[in-house]
Amino acid sequence: MTANTLAQQIESSAVSFSDLEKDYRPMLKLVEQMIGVVPNCDPYLEIWPTGFRTYNLLVPNLLNVPQAILGQGAPKDLVGLSMYVASRAAECMYCSAHTCSFALRRGTSPEALVGDYSPVEAAVARVAEGMSRVPANLKKSDIEVLREHLDDGDIEWVILGAAMMGFLNKFMDTMGIELEQSAINDVSDLITSTGWRAGKHNWSENVYDDFGLTEGRPLPAPDRSTNGDQPTGSYRDVPKDGMGTYFKVLKSTPAALRKDIQWSRGMSNRPGMALLRLEEQIGHAYTTLASLNHTRAVRAIATTVRDNLDHETTELGLGSKCLIALVYARVVGNDVLTAEAVQMAERLAPEIGHRKLTAIGRFASADMTTATLPPGLSTVEAASVMLAKAAAPSPSAVNGITIATVADSLTPAQIVEAVVWLSVQQLLHRLYVFYDADNDFVDFD
């Protein structure tokens, strides 16, 4: 049976949930408490362990967990709305379902999730949508309207939520991760009317045995009700945060925090120092970190960049990762991120040379139907830039040809690494879009 998604293609390499449970139970439980399910992405991210670590650094730190769940910081219903709107703007149907459930649990009104906004909700939605579309269309005036309702500290948490979803949107959409039935049950009766469909994330018609099911796949959550043979549920049954949520989150937090400290050891949480550490440790630092004020986010993003550019753990090679970053930046039209990618290649992979960088830039900017790979690429480089070209738009344009070509040329770990790095680029892109618009550096008209 032909694989319809990259995730199906490499499913036999996915790490079992039982093994994940042994090593990362606190992190699994923390996410489950936030969205009601342990996501099916976890076994795939652990194929390249830095990917799983990246995911578990970004999610709690950019969402300010557990403080946000306890009602501290920005209004959590607005952060949830930002995450949902960003996911819908990116057309990631997997994340749209999860963020809808997340938002309902944090107190976002069902009306807001179908577009019936209060003034502050409208301002949040406009910013989240503008920074998440490809091409971006955020304007400074949109941010100024949001400032009429929220202070800059709360706004930063709102945009960090949307930016963090950039990572998740790109990974889930590009890989085509299977959406859990319980997540579908939670939200489909609310958002199907807005055009949401599970699409490629609904694997129910596939014969799993053809792919060799991963050991330890969790059983579906019990359905709340039945309608004949079809499981049903309702957004009205999704529980809102209460004392039970708080106690469960706090129970998982200490062990998760210990992992966080272990993973981010050696990285500063101050923007200036974090940039210097990155320059010292890997020779490249993304300057958007200097715009952030919340120290948790600074440390998490800086650690993510450091780990993803570690020459000792990369399966792809830093040269291929520089080319992936360049392709992504050109496809989404981000000139600042393009300059960052070129600078990174000059420092980390000087063997690429200006001629190859120029050729890759032309390939990335060409129409998808006419773009041809430049000569002189290794097999891994060619597969990496082809995957980046197909995956960079939102939604991704990964198709059967892409899947077959990539699977023939890259190992499962290399595929996950490439998509994780693309996903980091999308997170950074959304931050650049926001801060460039706020500073009038770029006109997105």
**Residues 226, 118 share a domain:** yes
In a domain, 432, yes or no: no
Last residue of some domain: 190, 216, 237? Answer: 237
Say what the pLDDT of residue 204 is.
79
**Residues 151, 15 share a domain:** yes
CB 436 within 8 A of CB 159: no
Last residue of some domain: 212, 237, 262? Answer: 237
In a domain, 302, yes or no: no
Percent helix, percent strand, percent coil in the chain, to nearest 5: 65, 0, 35
In a domain, 195, yes or no: yes
pTM: 0.93
> 143 or 206, which is more confident?
143
**Residues 230, 330 share a domain:** no
pLDDT at 297 over 90: yes
CB 169 within 8 A of CB 134: no
Average of per-residue pLDDT values in the chain: 92
In a domain, 32, yes or no: yes
Of 236, 212, 239, 222, which is closest to residue 181 (Cα–Cα)?
A: 222
In a domain, 300, yes or no: no
**Residues 324, 231 share a domain:** no
Average pLDDT over residues 82-86: 98
List the structure tokens of 277. 């550490």
C-alpha span between 148 and 261 (Å, rounded)? 36
**Residues 360, 215 share a domain:** no
C-alpha span between 51 and 27 (Å, rounded)? 14
On the 0-12 / 13-18 / 19+ scale of CB atoms within 10 A, 283 is: middle
CB 327 within 8 A of CB 392: yes
User: Of 93-107, 118-132, 161-175, 227-241, where does mean pLDDT reach its minimum?
Assistant: 227-241
Question: pLDDT > 70: what percent of the chain?
Answer: 92
Number of Cβ atoms within 10 Å of the Cβ of 174 = 29
List the structure tokens of 206. 């596939």
Q: What is the tally of structural domains in the chain?
A: 2
List the structure tokens of 443. 């006109």
**Residues 104, 225 share a domain:** yes
Q: Which residues contact 309 (CB under 8 A, 6 or more apart)?
A: 282, 284, 318, 321, 344, 348
Residues spanned by the domain of 380: 318-410
**Residues 352, 225 share a domain:** no
**Residues 37, 176 share a domain:** yes
In a domain, 341, yes or no: yes
Question: pLDDT > 90: what percent of the chain?
Answer: 90
> Parallel, antiparallel, or unpaired for β 225-227 and 230-232?
antiparallel
Say what the pLDDT of residue 86 is.
98
**Residues 334, 204 share a domain:** no
Tokens 């706090």, residue located: 250
Q: List, as own/partner pairs, every contact residues 272-276 make where C-beta atoms lie below 8 angstroms and the sequence separation is at least 24, other chains included.
A: 274/298, 274/299, 274/302, 275/302
**Residues 172, 34 share a domain:** yes
Residues found in the chain: 445
**Residues 216, 115 share a domain:** yes
Say what the pLDDT of residue 369 is.
85
User: Of 20-24, 101-105, 208-212, 304-308, where does mean pLDDT reach its minimum?
Assistant: 208-212
In a domain, 445, yes or no: no
Average pLDDT over residues 66-76: 93
- What's phi and psi for 98, nearest 5 deg? -65, -40
**Residues 216, 322 share a domain:** no
Element (H, E) at 326: helix 318-332
Say what the pLDDT of residue 209 is.
31
pLDDT at 223 over 50: no
Residue 43's domain is classified under what CATH number? 1.20.1290.10
pLDDT tier, 420 (very low <50, low <70, confident <90, very high otherwise)? very high
CA distances from 168 to 39, 95, 361, 376, 420 (A): 11, 7, 25, 33, 9
